[in-house]
Amino acid sequence: MIPAPAIAVDQLVKVYKNVTAVDGISFALEPGSITGLLGGNGAGKTTIIAMIMGLVIPTSGSVTVLGTNMAQHRHRVLHRMNFESPYVEMPMRLTIRQNLTVFGRLYGVQDIAARIATLAEASSVAISPHFLPELHIHLAAATPAATFVEHFPLLDDLLDETLTVREGMVEPPPYAGHGIRWDSNALDRFEVA
């Protein structure tokens, strides 16, 4: 029995305004194969890869990766794919946490904050939740690698209970959940009719 192709491109076309970047290309790649796209500048190589990744929607034709239509359901397989472009550079000022968050969102990772905490703990890397610590206090309390929580009382006027800080230590609320109980009366002031 012949295995299903890892990547199947069928009559793929991409037109930008009046410029045809990709014109009806078709190919199939076997699982485990190594393939290179060759061509001069403007030949459509990057556009083909972007359509394979599901980042660019084809004008016509289709791309399937591991049996999944990338234009419709890329989130089902993105966790099994990766592409590193020499032409696209992430901003150098992003922290490790921010980079992981960006890529986690791109790849549809569920519960990104908890996954980052797990990676940090496994690697003995200290972590620090940023902004709205009310949302992160449980994560910090449950993660041995957590070092500190930045507390800006931005939400205090909207909460039933504010964070408890004793001797420079934030105490997690005694109940399960994300650590926030909203004051419905205070929230009513911000209701938009």
Query: What tens digit of pLDDT does each residue of 126-172 get?
Result: 665 554 444 555 555 555 555 555 555 666 777 777 767 777 666 66
CATH of 96-188 among 3.20.20.120, 3.65.10.10, 3.30.200.20, 3.30.1370.60 = 3.20.20.120
End-to-end CA distance of the chain: 63
pLDDT for position 133: 47
Indicate yes or no: pTM above 0.75: no
Tell me which architecture the domain covering 7-80 has in CATH.
Answer: 3-Layer(aba) Sandwich (3.40)
**Per-residue model confidence as pLDDT tens digits over 15-61:** 998 899 999 999 999 988 888 888 888 889 989 988 998 888 899 99
Burial profile 31-58: b = 16 or more Cβ within 10 angstroms, e = fewer:
eeeeeeeeeeeeebbbbbebbbbbebeb
- Reference 37, options 91, 5, 83; nearest CA is 83
Q: How many other β-carbons are positioned within 10 Å of the β-carbon of residue 96?
A: 12
Q: State the chain's mean pLDDT as an integer.
A: 77
Residue 187 or residue 31, greater confidence: 31
pLDDT for position 23: 94
Question: What are the extents of the domains in the chain?
Answer: 7-80, 96-188
Q: Are 155 and 125 in contact (CB under 8 A)?
A: no
